[in-house]
Chain A
Amino acid sequence: QSALTQPASVSGSPGQSITISCTGTSSDVGGYNYVSWYQQHPGKAPKLMIYDVRKRPSGVSNRFSGSKSGNTASLTISGLQAEDEADYYCSSYTSSSDFVVFGGGTKLTVL
């Protein structure tokens, strides 16, 4: 069982917006602004999409945005495109003995 909880799957039609949640505890998501989101296409390494809750690395589309409220972080993708279909993982710094924890991943399907 993963330390952070994500929905197993979400779906949306092209042009729509979707939100993926990531729920942790006060020892990780809720306690620090060090939540990251990664996109992974089949057979590929993950790609950083959001870091420090809401910051976008250079080159990442502004259709991707992050936020946090309490122990839950969220990734929103607006204007869905076919290329957004992938697995998405959240991660957070944690004050537990493990330095980083991941969510179980969410499969995004673009209908």
Chain B
Amino acid sequence: QAQLVQSGAEVKKPGASVKVSCKASGYTFTNYYIYWVRQAPGQGLEWMGIINPSGGYTTYAQKLQGRVTMTRDTSMSTVYMDLRSLRFDDTAVYYCARGPETDTSGSAIDYWGQGTLVTVSS
């Protein structure tokens, strides 16, 4: 059974950076894409980007280009999401989620992390 476990809640000031981790277990880490998805309070889901844990290749949402970086540590089966120049409207629950196998097509998410609340407050 796949599992994604994320780091704990964060409170940051505007302009700061936050780094959220996501440790995968129960499957071969390098065989599946990892997405990051966020959800502002009372709002819908927003796709932030995707990382291929095998080669580290990434694609980011156009809206977040220049502020977000996704990386991975294959030895730790962990992916990281770094968001810089935080604004009040970055306050959200941030989810890592497992996407399709890297050698297949599709876009569905079958496993989600528990979510990490990032609060941006002065």
Give the interface of A toward B (CB within 8 A). 2, 34, 36, 38, 45-48, 51-52, 57, 89, 91-93, 97-105
Contacts and interface: CB of A to CB of B under 8 A. Distances in A.
Contacts of B115: 45
A51 B110 CA distance: 9
Contacts of B114: 45
Contacts of A47: 112
A100 B35 contact: yes
Interface of B: 35, 37, 44-47, 49-50, 59, 61-62, 95, 105-110, 112-115
A68 to B, nearest CB: 14
A34 B108 contact: yes
A102 B47 contact: yes
Nearest to A40: B45
Contacts of B45: 38, 46, 89, 91, 102, 105
Contacts of A52: 106, 108
B47 A34 contact: no
Contacts of A45: 95, 112-115
Contacts of B112: 45-47
B110 A98 contact: no
A101 B110 CA distance: 16
Contacts of A97: 59, 62
Given A89-B45, A104-B44, A105-B45, A57 B110 contact: yes
A57 B112 CA distance: 14
A98 B114 CA distance: 24
B107 A91 contact: yes
5 contacts: A45-B114, A97-B62, A98-B59, A99-B59, A102-B46
